[in-house]
Amino acid sequence: MKHFNKLLVYRRATQLAFIIFIFIVPVFNIFRYDTQTKELFILGQVWSLGLKQNFYADASVAGAAHVAFHVLFNAVLPWVLVLAIFPLLGFLTGRLFCGWLCPEGAMFELVDFFSLKLLGRRNLYGKRANDPDVKPGNRLFYGALALASAVLLPLVAGISLTGYLIAPQTIWQQISTGNLSYGVKAGIIGVTIYMFITSVLVRHIFCKYICAAGLMQMLFGWISPVSLRVKMDTGRSGECTDCLGCEKACFMNVLPRENKRDISCVNCGACIAACNKELGQGKGLFHYSCGEGCAAPRENSGHLTQIQPYPLQGEQKII
């Protein structure tokens, strides 16, 4: 019977749901800044400090307390809470957000897929030892699909993300009349260039070294004693058939069998599914676990010294 990869189905569902969420946020004024009216919308309301009229004319202690209270509760604390999201996520779930929700991560995986179908490898610059074995696809079909995605996805993303700065109704009205303003054109072109560079040329290197949200999750996942991570059952390592499925599944180039709690791991679960496919559903050697935090790459690999990392062909491995 064909192996059913439940984790992958769930992960694609959460990625798609989050992409839809990102698209509808500005449409329903859940969060957006209108550069034309200079208003910040949060949860459907125009955000304001809530200061009374002519507050600056009130030099009394009560007047000062009024300003301090409203600035603290309407400005400082909300932004502290917003900024705490990624550290908190990292502390509790490691880089789960990157693997299960991040729209950019999903986009990079899509480009990985096209690269594999068209070039037989994930990377544009050379083959890696952990590139999955893929059946050669119909190049014309996948080439056309990749081209359509390269045009449509940045366009849709550009229109949607510009909605965080210009009212979505205004954008759609301009699109329907074909009369795009400078701001809308700049937004769409800017997002298109950004998506091309990150998705085609950089991809997961961006996740490892550049993305601020990813770095915050890495850092807090690293120091956390409780963060979620993928662990190998080292007591059963003798059952490993050395099929390399787990390493070929890992688009972050982690070596899951080293069991070293690599901070690049995005908890996607692809290695769990790959091992279950090889050893039988529920019998794989990997599982999710909370605790012991994460560690920097190339540390803590003492458990499985008999299993050597596989050398790269013609290029340096990026950890």
Q: For binding to ligand SF4 (CB under 6 A), which residues are involved?
A: 230, 240-246, 249-250, 252, 254, 256-257, 265-271, 274-275, 278-279, 285
Token pair listed for 95: 């880089």
- Closer residue to ligand SF4 (CB): 187 or 297: 297
What span, in angstroms and rounded, lies between the C-alpha atoms of 99 and 28? 26
- Closer residue to ligand SF4 (CB): 162 or 276: 276
- Closer residue to ligand SF4 (CB): 163 or 284: 284
Alpha-carbon dihedral sign for residues 259, 265, 266, 269: negative
Comparing C-alpha atoms, which of 204, 289, 281, 274 is closest to residue 244? 274
Alpha-carbon dihedral sign for residues 294, 296, 298, 302: negative
Comparing C-alpha atoms, which of 243, 242, 292, 250 is closest to residue 267? 250
- Closer residue to ligand SF4 (CB): 41 or 86: 86
Cα diameter, the chain: 78
CA angle 9, 242, 262 (to 5 degrees): 65
- Closer residue to ligand SF4 (CB): 32 or 229: 229
Q: How far is the CB of 315 from ligand SF4 (least distance, A)?
A: 19
Q: How far is the CB of 206 from ligand SF4 (least distance, A)?
A: 15
Q: How far is the CB of 120 from ligand SF4 (least distance, A)?
A: 20
Q: How far is the CB of 12 from ligand SF4 (least distance, A)?
A: 14
What span, in angstroms and rounded, lies between the C-alpha atoms of 209 and 215? 7
Q: How far is the CB of 80 from ligand SF4 (least distance, A)?
A: 30
Q: Which H helix or E strand runs over 33? A: strand 31-34
